[in-house]
Amino acid sequence: MPILVFVESANGIFKKSNFEAVSYGARIADQLRTDSFVINFEDLSDDVLKSLGDFGASKVYRVKNDSLKNFDAGFYAKVLFDIAQKLNATTVIFSFDYSGKAIAPVLAAKMNAGFVAGAIDLPMIDGVIMKIRKNVFSGKAIATYAIHSENKIVALTPNTVVPITTENRCSVENLEVAINPSDSKVKVKEVVKASGKVTLSDADVVVSAGRGLKGPENWGMVEEMASILGAATACSRPVADINWRPHEEHVGQTGLTVRPNLYIALGISGAIQHLAGVNGSKVIVVVNKDPEAPFFKAADYGIVGDVFEVVPKLNEAFKKFKSVI
Amino acid sequence: MKFLVCISKAPDTTTKIAFTDNNTKFNNDKVVFIVNPYDEWYALVRALELKEKLGGTVTVINVGATDCDAIIRKALAIGADDAVRIDAEPIDAMFVAKQIAQYVKANAYDLVLCGKETIDYNGSEVGGMIAGLLDWGYVSLASSLELNGDLATLNREIAGGYETVVVKTPFVLSAAKGMAEARIPNMRGIMAARTKPVAVVPVFACENYTTILSYELPKEKTGVKLVSPDNVDELVSLLHNEAKVI
Ligand SMILES: Cc1cc2nc3c(=O)[nH]c(=O)nc-3n(C[C@H](O)[C@H](O)[C@H](O)COP(=O)(O)OP(=O)(O)OC[C@H]3O[C@@H](n4cnc5c(N)ncnc54)[C@H](O)[C@@H]3O)c2cc1C
Ligand SMILES: Nc1ncnc2c1ncn2[C@@H]1O[C@H](COP(=O)(O)O)[C@@H](O)[C@H]1O
């Protein structure tokens, strides 16, 4: 029984999290000595879809239908349900991103599948049981789940499993499934995206600042650091609450969760609710004038100092570094 | 309009996480439980605002044992009209979703509101599952909700922005930040909550498909490496050569 991997690109371009999900599905399929099939609803070219084969997919299925241009989690789940039946698949892999979070639970209900939302490594497979680790308590602990139902759904947390390239052996095929457009209940009227800037949820580097910056007028140096490093900007919750920064930038327990390779925190105390949204970052750098700030306990590197002195100097140093490499 | 708001109990956000029974159970000794913030601040308050504007009722539903009574009273104090507690330890998200879906099938509601996720198991699962079980539309991570007759307009978070969607009731949503502002219960609300009805419903028998085998704490950081503010070049070099992140 093949493994299905659902992928959705960002405007026709596949991102690292897509490759991670494809590689994850392929490695599970290898363990089970079966195939992994990628499912995509976006009507992309053969070349673009074939690029997924570099990460081990056996085949990419393109599902073409005008009604799929409108994202509707329930409708997508229905179509995926029919595809799983048609291809005789019992396991479906998603990325634990915006579309995965929307579609996967609906599909789990339709398939009567055990679902692990937010896996952080490959499953251990023991007969029908899959044991999978995921973060719980906002990253303050890890739990090992067992899925013991026949049907299984796993959504993989981005930036946790390194994708492995393989020799491309994949073909692209159109998959015919009966789709009834009137099953779609949710209609998208408008899509609004911040253009040009690196998006926070999938940035490799995040530069974040807190109340230590004193006021919105001081964010120039934060944005400068982000632009030198090709980073996204983020902030602590009070900063968003008092409207120094847009709400989309708020990270933490009640905001966005980010897992970049590098998280730079400027003038943020490191309250537990803030850490909950960033403690999955690979490397954390903290600049804070208070040596007792709790953030230093969660940091890999730190500078005890005044952001108004340190950040301009750091920006110069980053600039110099970027100009020589 | 009949609103049903799903509320879960969650450990207070400053809880120290520890485990017992050979790391197979969460240690809830001395833990203070609160209403899961997304459920209270966003889903419940928006339902109350819409009820105040358009009329109707707001019911909160919880799948949990008697230890959930306190969070149910809190929701009633904030303004919910009545509550339902399905008397069972929640085993996993599908189990919870099946209990709630079963209840909704027997008691017509126009809108089911969940939180974005529980802050303990962080699954973002229950809402989508209820929608799947009922075959209703699902809008995940909604940051706003307006109603006009049976037509709802919502913004939902997507990568790098948001989208505006429309859907007819009945449907299910999960509520994210932006949907409403938290309300603090006042004395009158707290008094009124004592006499509001809480229906205790027996569990609907169903299987669960997942179990938690064990817990562990993440690897401790080895300790922060401090760099002098007069030597920022060293930090850049460490990030490049040692951490290999730039
Ligand atoms: C239920 C709940 C949920 C929450 N969710 C979140 C969440 O999702 N995200 C979040 O961020 N918070 C959240 N909070 C709030 C959290 O508890 C903290 O209050 C918040 O993170 C503090 O933000 P801050 O570090 O920017 O500000 P402060 O706590 O005011 O800290 C400012 C820091 O800047 C330093 N500083 C000041 N001046 C300078 C300077 N010139 N140079 C260098 N350093 C300087 C100070 O030493 C201090 O450490 C939540 C709280 C609750 C109760
Ligand atoms: N035991 C429960 N009882 C009622 N509602 C719940 C329960 N658990 C979760 N929910 C709802 O489902 C949402 C998502 O939970 P989760 O899927 O666990 O992240 C929560 O924000 C609640 O609205």
Residues of B in contact with A321 (CB under 8 A): 236, 240, 246
Kindly tell me if the per-residue pLDDT of A62 is higher than 70: yes
Check if B29 contacts A (Cβ < 8 Å): no
Return the closest-CA partner of residue A285 out of A308, A309, A268.
A268
The angle at the Cα of B115, spanning B113 to B116, to the nearest 5 degrees, equals 125
Establish if B240 touches chain A: CB-CB under 8 angstroms. Answer: yes
CA-wise closest residue to B96 among B112, B77, B76: B112
CA of A20 to the centre of ligand 1 (A): 33
Q: Which atom of ligand 2 is nearest to the CA of B123?
A: 19
- B99, B204 contact by CB (below 8 A): yes
CA dihedral A73, A74, A76, A80 (to 10 degrees): 130
* CATH code for residues A200-323: 3.40.50.1220
Regarding pTM above 0.95, the answer is no
Minimal-distance CA residue to ligand 2 atom 14: B117
Instruction: Assess contact for A206 and A259: CB atoms under 8 A.
Output: no
Q: Is the pLDDT of residue A167 over 90?
A: no
Cβ–Cβ < 8 Å for B218, B211: no
Structure tokens, A60: 């990419």
What span, in angstroms and rounded, lies between the C-alpha atoms of A262 and B245? 6
pLDDT of residue A247: 87
B8 touches chain A (CB under 8 A): no
Output the pLDDT for position B222.
83
Q: Between chains, do A109 and B94 touch, taking CB under 8 Å as contact?
A: yes
pLDDT at A148 over 70: yes
pLDDT of residue B149: 96
Q: What share of chain B is helix, strand, coil (3-state, %, to 5)?
A: 30, 35, 40
Q: Is the pLDDT of residue B243 over 70?
A: yes
Q: Return the sign of the alpha-carbon dihedral for residues A310, A312, A318, A324.
A: negative
- Is residue A196 scored above 90 in pLDDT? no
Q: Is-same-fold flag (A3-183; A200-323)?
A: yes
Q: CB of B105 within 8 Å of any CB in chain A?
A: no
The model's pLDDT over B162-205, given as tens digits with 9 standing for 90+, comes to 999 999 999 999 999 899 999 999 999 999 999 999 999 999 99
Q: Are A104 and B128 an interchain contact pair (Cβ–Cβ within 8 Å)? A: yes
Contact A73 B140 (CB under 8 A): yes
Q: How confident is the model at residue A194 (pLDDT cuts 50, 70, 90)?
A: confident
Show the beta-strand stretches assigned E in A137-209.
Answer: 141-147, 152-156, 171-174, 186-193, 205-209
Whether the Cβ atoms of residue A299 and residue B238 lie closer than 8 Å to each other: no
The mean pLDDT of A216-222, rounded to a whole number, is: 98
For chain B, domains (ranges, CATH) are 2-218 (3.40.50.620)
Q: Report the alpha-carbon distance of residue A291 to residue A304 in Å, rounded.
A: 6
- Record: fold of A3-183: Rossmann fold (3.40.50)
Q: What is the pLDDT of residue B104?
A: 98
- Whether the Cβ atoms of residue B67 and residue B47 lie closer than 8 Å to each other: no
* Confidence (pLDDT) at B221: 80
pLDDT in tens, B142-154: 999 999 999 999 9
**Ligand 1 atom nearest to CA at A306:** 42
The pair of structure tokens assigned to B101 is 């879906």
What are B120-165's pLDDT values in tens digits? Answer: 999 999 999 999 999 999 999 999 999 999 999 999 999 888 999 9
Residue A151's pLDDT band (boundaries 50, 70, 90)? very high
Nearest to B13 among A102, A193, A253 (CB): A253
Residue A195: the pLDDT is: 66
SS3 A83: helix
Domain ranges of chain A: 3-183, 200-323
**Residue B43's pLDDT band (cuts 50, 70, 90):** very high
User: Residue B22: is it exposed, middle or buried by C-beta count within 10 angstroms (0-12/13-18/19+)?
Assistant: exposed
- Contact criterion met (CB below 8 Å) for A208 and A307: no
Record: contact B210-A147, CB cut-off 8 A: yes
- Tell me how far apart the alpha carbons of residues A306 and A291 are, in angstroms, rounded to a whole number: 11
- Give the helix, strand, coil percentages of chain A, each rounded to 5: 35, 25, 40
DSSP 8-class letter at A295: H
**CB < 8 Å to B125, chain A:** 104-105, 108, 115, 117
CA-CA distance, B65 to B90, in Å (whole number)? 8
Q: How many residues does chain B have?
A: 246
**Amino acid (one-letter) located at B118:** T
Average pLDDT over residues A291-310: 97
Diameter over CA atoms, chain B: 68
Position with higher pLDDT, B39 vs A169: B39
ipTM: 0.93
DSSP class of B242: I
Q: In chain A, what is the greatest distance between 2 CA atoms, to the nearest angstrom?
A: 63
The DSSP secondary structure of B43-92, one letter per residue, reads IIHHHHHHHHHH--EEEEEEEE-GGGHHHHHHHHHHT-SEEEEEES---S
Q: What is the dihedral of CA B29, B32, B34, B37, to 10 degrees?
A: -100
Please give the distance, rounded to the nearest whole angstrom, from the Cα atom of residue B15 to the centre of ligand 1.
18
Provide the pLDDT confidence category of residue A241 given band limits of 50, 70 and 90. Answer: very high
pLDDT of residue B115 exceeding 80, the answer is yes
Rounded mean pLDDT of B90-104? 97
CB-count exposure of residue B138 (10 Å: 0-12, 13-18, 19+): buried
Interacting residues of B34 by C-beta distance below 8 A, sequence separation 6+: B9, B10, B11, B12, B13, B40, B71, B74
- Between the two ends of chain A, the Cα-to-Cα distance in Å is 48
pLDDT at A324 over 90: no
Q: Which residues surround ligand 2 with Cβ inside 6 Å?
A: B 6-8, 36, 38-39, 61-64, 90, 93, 96, 114-115, 117-118, 121, 123-127
**What's chain A's average pLDDT?**
95
Chains A and B form CB pairs within 8 A to the count of 270
pLDDT at B95 over 90: yes
